[in-house]
């Protein structure tokens, strides 16, 4: 677990940060902040996630939920994430970093065929313009508040690729 929390200095610092909750020694409860991908309705948003690492990790996936409200076909109103690698396609080769990068990728490319939020899935399929408007509205309302991540990176430029894992 400690190894996965180590800083990867070779990667862009503007997209993802992770830390143990409350600076405790419980390496099974983490928090993460991810920046919304460029050229999506989530751009410039900072989304908080809660991560629970099971005792049988890496044989079972972490339980990850959005703490920040987000309008998305694959994210429920209580933050549950509908993503195959968090369910039936989990593999022991997946790390926490790769899992978080997959969640960021999901923001860029929703799967409206395997949804958990029916309204968002319907709008995504039937009216992309309305979907983007509503997702952008929610991003502005819920994901553009001050956080340790935005304060740390407030002067950084947007990044189009996602490759960072940082301990706060």
**Which one, of 17, 137, 14, lies nearest residue 72 by Cα?**
137
Q: Write the burial class of residue 132 (CB in 10 Å: 0-12 exposed, 13-18 middle, 19+ buried).
A: middle
User: What six digits make up the tokens of 70?
Assistant: 């987000």
Catalytic residue among 16, 81, 82, 83: 82
Active site residue 82: yes
Q: Under a CB-based contact definition with an 8 Å cutoff, are residues 140 and 69 in contact?
A: no
- Alpha carbon 112 to its chain's center: 18
**Residues recognised as catalytic:** 82
């Amino acid at each position: 677990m400690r190894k996965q929390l180590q800083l990867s200095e070779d990667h862009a610092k503007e997209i993802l940060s992770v830390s143990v909750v409350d600076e405790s020694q419980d390496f099974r409860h983490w928090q993460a902040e991810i920046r919304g991908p460029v050229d999506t309705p989530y751009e410039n948003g900072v989304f908080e996630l809660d991560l629970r690492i099971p005792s049988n990790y890496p044989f079972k996936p972490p339980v990850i939920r959005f703490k920040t409200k987000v309008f998305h076909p694959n994210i429920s109103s209580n933050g549950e994430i509908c993503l195959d690698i968090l369910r039936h396609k989990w593999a022991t080769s997946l790390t926490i970093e790769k899992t978080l990068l997959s969640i960021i990728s999901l923001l860029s490319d929703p799967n409206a065929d395997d949804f958990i939020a029916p309204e968002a899935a319907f709008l995504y399929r039937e009216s992309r313009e309305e979907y983007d408007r509503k997702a952008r509205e929610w991003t502005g309302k819920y994901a553009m508040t001050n956080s340790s991540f935005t304060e740390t990176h407030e002067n950084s430029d947007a990044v189009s690729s996602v490759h960072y894992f940082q301990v706060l």
